[in-house]
């Protein structure tokens, strides 16, 4: 009986959390529509720069994943490792 009660409680809490997330957090389109035109233009200008930075970081992560070194021994791309 206690397992069933715990399961129903868990499902209820998670259901409320998912419902709140979808009703409270706006998606990207709604967020852009609510911005002022100046902010929207700045967002669009910086979009390519953010994409390039993301691609550089992902490339570095994939390279580091292939190596046998631990993560704390791998230096960031623009820095040397201090020992």
Q: How confident is the model at residue 77 (pLDDT cuts 50, 70, 90)?
A: low
Q: What is the pLDDT of residues 21-76, one digit of tens each?
A: 999 998 888 888 888 999 999 998 999 999 999 999 999 889 888 888 887 887 66
Quick check: 77 and 60 in contact, CB under 8 A?
A: yes
Per DSSP, the three-state class of 15 is: helix
Looking at residue 81, its pLDDT comes to: 52
Quick check: 56 and 77 in contact, CB under 8 A?
A: yes
- pTM reported for the whole predicted model: 0.52
Looking at residue 78, its pLDDT comes to: 63
Quick check: 59 and 65 in contact, CB under 8 A?
A: no
């Amino acid at each position: 009986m206690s397992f069933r009660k715990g399961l129903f409680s868990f499902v209820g809490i998670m259901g409320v959390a998912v419902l709140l997330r979808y009703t409270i957090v706006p998606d990207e389109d709604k967020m852009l529509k609510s911005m002022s035109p100046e902010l929207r233009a700045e967002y669009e200008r910086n979009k390519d720069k953010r994409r390039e930075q993301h691609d550089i970081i992902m490339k570095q992560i994939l390279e580091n994943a292939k190596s046998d070194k631990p993560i704390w021994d791998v230096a960031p791309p623009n820095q040397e490792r201090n020992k």
